[in-house]
Structures are given as C-alpha cells and as structure tokens.
Amino acid sequence: MTRPYRLIIWGPGDMGGRALRTALESPDFEVVGVKVFNPNKHGRDIGELAGLPPVGTRATTSKAEILALEADCVVHTPTTPALVQGADADVLDLLESGKNVVSAASYHNPAMPTWLSESRSPLEVLRTVSQIRVTGSAFGSHLPRALSALKTLMRVVDSSPARFARPVLDRLAGPMVDLAVPRRASGERLQAACLRGGVSLHGTGLHPGLMVEQLLLRLAGLLNEVREVKFLEVGDLSQAPDGMWGGLASLGFGMPLSAVDSNHAIALMQHFYFDAVLANVAHTLFGVGADQVRVERHVYPVPARIRVRAGGSVIEPGSVGAIHMSYRGYIGDRLFMTNAECWHVGLGNAHLGPDHPRSLTGGHVITLDGSPARIEMRNELDDESYGGDWSAVTDISVKAMLDVIPELCAAPPGVAMPDLSPRFRLETA
C-alpha cells in the first residue's frame, strides 16, 4: 500500500473537522469521503466544511455510500454519546467492508468489558442504567426517554414474583435494553470483523493513547519493580468547544451539587475510556488479562467560587464548578492504578489538591511507586501565558490518529494495540 492513503472521515465535528483539514492539506492523504450527521452538511463540498477551497468531493449522511467507497482507512471521530447509541454497529460494518479504522472515541482495549458490554446480561445493564442521572442535552432527547422507560422496567423486574426465573427475565428485558441503550460489541466480535475484512482496528489519542500507554509505561521500564501507578489529569474546560458533549451542563457543570455523583452520565461514560487504560497497564506491567481487572469509580462535585460564563453556559457560585473523577483498577484486592480526572470551569474554580499540578490551568501528574526509585513526572501549563486555547488537546489526538495510519494499514488483520518493544534503525550518517 503506497501513499497517498485514501481516507474517510467519520463525523467531522471538532476533532473530525480538524482531522479533515489536516488530511486535506497533507500530501500523504487523499480524502475520498466524509460521513456527516447534520442534514445541513449533506452534499456540501468537504473542502468548504474544513474552511478550505472546494476539492470536488461531497459529504454525505448515507452510511451505504460510505461503505461502498474504496478506502484504506476510516478516521473515526463520533461524539462520545454515540457510543451508547449503536456506534459499534457502524465500526463493525466498516471493518467488514475492508476498511481499517482508527478511532479517538473508543477501541483502546476492546477486550476490557465495561458495564455496557454485550457480555453483561440485560438485567445487569438494566440495573446500572436505571440509576444513571442525566443533565443537559449531550445525549439528545433519546437517552432521557429511554432511561425513563428502563427505570420503569427495572421496577417491574424487581417486583416480579419468584416464579419468573432470572433467565426468563433476561430474555424479556434483552430486546428493550438493546433498543434503548445498545450493548457494546465484545473484543471477540470486533476481532472477527477485522479478520473478515482483512483489516485492523486501533484506538488512540492524547488520553487514552499517548499519556499512559506510551509515556507512563515507558517510564515504568526504568524500574525493576512497579507496585502502583497513578495518572492525574487536570483541565480547565472554560474554553472547550461549546458543542462538546452538548454543553457544559451535560457534564454536570452549573447544576446543583446534588445532581452530580458516581451515577451521573459522565461518570458512567468515562468507563469506556479509563477501563481500557487500566486494562492496558495491568497487561503490560503485571501480565494479567482484562477479565482479571476490577474497576471502581468515585465521582464528586465541587462548588464554584466565582461566576463564569463559558460558551452558552453560566456557572454560578455554589453550583458545580469542578468535578473530580477517580477510576481505580484492582487485581484481586490489590490496587495497582488510579486514573483521576479533575475538570473545572474557570481558573477561579480550580480544585487543586496537594498532589495536583501547581497550575490553575491544568496539566498532568504521573507517579510510579516501585524500586529502586519512585518516579514522578509533572506537566504543568503556564497560567500567565495560557490563552485558553483548547485546540492543542484536539491537535495532539488528531496527530496521533493520522501518524498511525501507515502502520495500521500495513499491520496484519486484527485489533492493534500499542507496542513498547525496542525499535532500532541503522545510523546512516
């Protein structure tokens, strides 16, 4: 397979739009198709969608048209809520049509089951989703209605007489659960689709993708023994794209403190990302499979101290101004990793603990507890020079996806994972 690589961009929103523009401006790629979801974008020239001169290729809302195209790779950048609205079915079809897929939205470790995996029984999923709390409009009108129906179904299940055995209730609940919130495809099913299409699937981005799977795990190679690792990400979302997740209210910001807890939608959705991170670390450092990793989450809100207007949202003092999320990975009873996210809106609402970056703007802290040393690495933004430019986060993820395309297209069929094996080249100087 030679350059230029024929690409399809799936979902040109903030990240997908940046990927589209970058690919159009690069001699390494030829964009042959763009899948849009907004009817107003259907039929528009993809160059104009990216803010560039026309290139003669039209965007389409038709999945059938996209599947019929000849392409080397699909850059998959749907919204995160799409992951509970059947996005896996699209990826399975793309793979079986003979197209490699690189995604920033998921597939960082498809072997790791989550609360919505198809390996979970309908009743297990139903019990979880019946407790989800939704704020804002990130999930559209579909999810709140679906959750309302599923909560009613859960009450019926809980009140069912003993003569209705669990397998019977599972069969009755299954179709309703999968219609409302489709269960996620298993790693086995994604792997099978790759083999049928003769292609590969890979998930990457800033985090998950680079910060832990590349940087943290390479640092771990300096130690003879690793006992526990921690990754902390702190960020100010005041300059994030206003449409991300449907607005800050969908993340819980600006809501009463009582609206955000460990069952908020954002808390459940982050499992699709951070469970994969924990599984990758468990496999690389401790040699265990994803089925041996247990994940616990803890999410709590922090009240805003100052009033902040961010995009279309207003954060009032006393409402949710920061959210702290921790996802802890266990092998048996042993805690081996904590992935923590602390997001705030406005520098004056930063929630910084003693182990956080010493920056109101944000950054990352990597900690490895082992022998013969304890390693800590900090990445801290400069508060004085920070201009609130959120695009750097997007640009890094876009670069990670585009950079991996040549290797992904050349890889054997299957789900592709990060490789930390030493690589060497001959010196030609």
> What is the C-alpha separation between 83 and 106, in angstroms, rounded?
8
Q: Which of 182, 181, 180, 184 is nearest to 109 (CA)?
A: 184
Kindly write down the DSSP assignment for every residue of 316-377, as one continuous string: -TTSEEEEEEEEEEEETTEEEEEEEEEEESSGGG----TTS-S-SSEEEEEEEEEES-EEEE
Asked if residues 18 and 396 have their Cβ atoms less than 8 Å apart, the reply is no
Mean pLDDT of 401-406: 96
Give the three-class secondary structure for 248.
Answer: helix
Helix (DSSP H) and strand (DSSP E) numbers for the chain: 13, 14
Q: List pLDDT tens digits, range 189-224.
A: 999 999 999 999 999 999 999 999 999 999 999 999
Give the three-class secondary structure for 405.
Answer: helix
pLDDT at 244: 66
Confidence of residue 285 (pLDDT cuts 50, 70, 90): very high
At 128, list the tokens. 């979880």
Q: Which residue has the higher pLDDT, 100 or 237?
A: 100
Rounded to the nearest 5 degrees, what angle is found at the Cα of 179, between the Cα atoms of 114 and 293?
5
* Least confident interval from 15-29, 101-115, 415-429: 415-429
| 86 φ/ψ angles, rounded to the nearest 5 degrees | 95, 20
Mean pLDDT of 370-374: 96
What distances in angstroms separate CA 123 from CA 147, 268, 296, one per listed residue? 14, 17, 20
Judge whether residue 419 has pLDDT over 90. no
Q: Who's near 7: CB < 8 A, 6+ residues apart?
A: 23, 29, 30, 31, 32, 71, 72, 73, 74, 75, 405
- Domains belonging to the chain, first-starting first, are 5-112+185-204+397-415 (3.40.50.720), 122-180 (no CATH), 206-388 (3.30.360)
Judge whether residue 372 has pLDDT over 80. yes
pLDDT at 388: 56
pLDDT at 140: 53
pLDDT at 155: 74
> What is the C-alpha separation between 385 and 291, in angstroms, rounded?
45
* Least confident interval from 18-27, 130-139, 212-221, 313-322: 130-139
Q: List pLDDT tens digits, range 243-266.
A: 666 678 888 999 999 999 999 989
pTM of whole model > 0.85? yes
Mean pLDDT of 82-102: 95
Judge whether residue 292 has pLDDT over 70. yes
Q: List pLDDT tens digits, range 146-169.
A: 667 777 777 776 776 655 566 777
pLDDT at 245: 66
